[in-house]
Amino acid sequence: MKEYRARGGYEALARFIKSSPEEIIRQITDAGLRGRGGAGFPTGKKWSFTRAAPEQPRYLILNGGEDEPGSKKDRVLMENLPHLIIEGVILAGYAIGAVKAYLYINANYQAATKNITDALADSKAAGHWGQNILGSNFSLDIELTPAPHNYVAGEDTAALEVIEGKKAWPRQKPPFPVTVGLFGKPTAVNNVETLANVAPILLRGPDGYRKFGTPDSPGTMIFSLNEDVNCPGVYELPFGTPLRYLIEHCGGGIKGGKKIKAIMPAAPSAAYLSPDKLDTPLEPNAMRAAGSGLGCGVVQLVGEGTCIVEEVLRMADFFTAESCGQCPACRMETNTLSMLMKKVQQGQGGQPILEQFGKVLAFNKGKGFCNLIAMPGPPIESALKLFPADFAAHLATGKCPAN
């Protein structure tokens, strides 16, 4: 905590606990902060909706479920900067007028849980949370809840269910948590990285924050690179940085000196990009225009010599395994896609089988409570479009052209 305070830690709290919650919301809105959990919803808007909801009490949830395969950013933040997260939680709690904040942290993250627990004790002793924070009228209780580590447990409404003591099953939306959330009360669910941005924004002001990034996506984002590059890790870059910079400069390029065959900029649920899109800016709108998305910033590479059929089969099976099973359409879709892709891999079904993927996806479009049902589509459909030769080879020989 000493170290954090030496760098301006808890100054934003000391300053803004004396101003109004509305002022905090205004600054966060002006800064243009968007959620970093994948959906990119404007944080200021989420807070003002929660604050405006008539029901009492209100709750805040720090979503540290981080179940996307390959995502490490929230873990790194919680392990290394626990006070930054806690200060963000307290400020967010004050902004929405919460009585209690739940820190929902991936149960596998032992070091993060320990460091957050220790930091919570220190910051409570310093009067930063609990009754009458820093002598103000605002009180906030904070409690830690371990998050199950299956994929849908990181979905915001699944987090509500777990904290209520139930299975990690997403709820049907609407109503959205901002009006009917935890225990039926207004709740803001914010990702760890999102809340890590709050104190720095309040200290520097919206203009200071907007010195980084693009007008529509101000600030920075943390990207996760995995074993497919020479230097795996998490890298914080301003929005708008070219994808190439992340892969080549930060990641040291693809492992083994291979050529890049495809890029998945928001694993596991984005569309593949071909290598000619390497200069696309890391920014949600630009990624959408290129045909993909940015999600929560897990960037994966497929090297030349890797068969895309094997890759998408793995993904299809991942979604089948991770579908929580409560929505019939999601079970139908994910299972059918897996079965079809397995047939393709084994070289069965002939060319007509390739036409079935789009039909199954179209049939299930818009169904299901959560977004999982929409996730297998982009990787599969983009793979079919970009790499028809891989599919044709599997169908012709039942073997992988890469092996």
Partner 1 sequence: MRVCLVCQNIDCKSRGSEQLMKEFQKRVAARGLTDVEVKPYMCFGACQEGPNIVLYPEKNWYAAVKVEDLDEITDHLAGGPHVQRLDTIDSALKELIYQLLDTGIL
Residue from the set 90, 178, 360, 380 that interacts with partner 1 by CB under 8 A: 360
The stretch near partner 1 (CB under 8 A) out of 24-32, 232-240, 244-252, 341-349 is 341-349
Nearer to partner 1, 133 or 313 (CB): 313
* Binding positions for partner 1, 157-186, rule CB under 8 A: none
User: Is residue 134 close enough to count as binding partner 1 by CB under 8 A?
Assistant: no
* Binding positions for partner 1, 135-154, rule CB under 8 A: none
Q: Exposed (0-12), middle (13-18) or buried (19+): which is 56, by Cβ within 10 Å?
A: exposed
User: Is residue 352 close enough to count as binding partner 1 by CB under 8 A?
Assistant: yes
What x-and-dash track marks residues 249-268 binding partner 1 by CB under 8 A? Answer: --------------------
Pairwise CA distance, residues 185 & 144, whole Å? 19
User: Is residue 329 close enough to count as binding partner 1 by CB under 8 A?
Assistant: yes
**Which token pair is 344?**
């393709």
User: Is residue 325 close enough to count as binding partner 1 by CB under 8 A?
Assistant: yes
The string of DSSP codes covering 140-178 is BEEEEEEEP-SGGGGSHHHHHHHHTTS---PPPSSSPTT
Pairwise CA distance, residues 297 & 22, whole Å? 30
User: Is residue 335 close enough to count as binding partner 1 by CB under 8 A?
Assistant: yes
The stretch near partner 1 (CB under 8 A) out of 37-45, 229-237, 263-271, 349-357 is 349-357
User: Is residue 317 close enough to count as binding partner 1 by CB under 8 A?
Assistant: no
* Amino acid at residue number 36: R
- Residues near 308 by beta carbon (within 8 Å), at least 6 away in sequence: 261, 262, 272, 302, 383, 386, 387, 390, 391
Nearest to 195 by CA among 267, 96, 342, 304: 96
The stretch near partner 1 (CB under 8 A) out of 125-133, 180-188, 266-274, 322-330 is 322-330
What's the farthest any 2 CA atoms get from each other in the chain? Answer: 74
- Sheet strands (E) in 175-331: 187-191, 220-225, 233-238, 260-264, 298-303
User: Is residue 363 close enough to count as binding partner 1 by CB under 8 A?
Assistant: yes
User: Is residue 398 close enough to count as binding partner 1 by CB under 8 A?
Assistant: no
**Which token pair is 152?**
């849908």
- The least distance separating partner 1 from the CB of residue 342, rounded to whole angstroms, comes to 8
Residue from the set 364, 369, 377, 391 that interacts with partner 1 by CB under 8 A: 364
User: Is residue 328 close enough to count as binding partner 1 by CB under 8 A?
Assistant: yes
- The least distance separating partner 1 from the CB of residue 352, rounded to whole angstroms, comes to 7
Q: Return the H-helix or E-strand segment holding 398.
A: none
For residues 379-391, one letter each, b for 16 or more C-beta atoms within 10 angstroms of the residue's C-beta and e for the rest, the string is bbbbbbebbeebb
User: Is residue 331 close enough to count as binding partner 1 by CB under 8 A?
Assistant: yes
Residue from the set 18, 114, 211, 359 that interacts with partner 1 by CB under 8 A: 359
Nearer to partner 1, 232 or 347 (CB): 347
Q: Which residues lie near partner 1 (CB under 8 A)?
A: 325-326, 328-329, 331-332, 335-336, 339-340, 343, 348-349, 352-353, 355-356, 359-360, 363-364
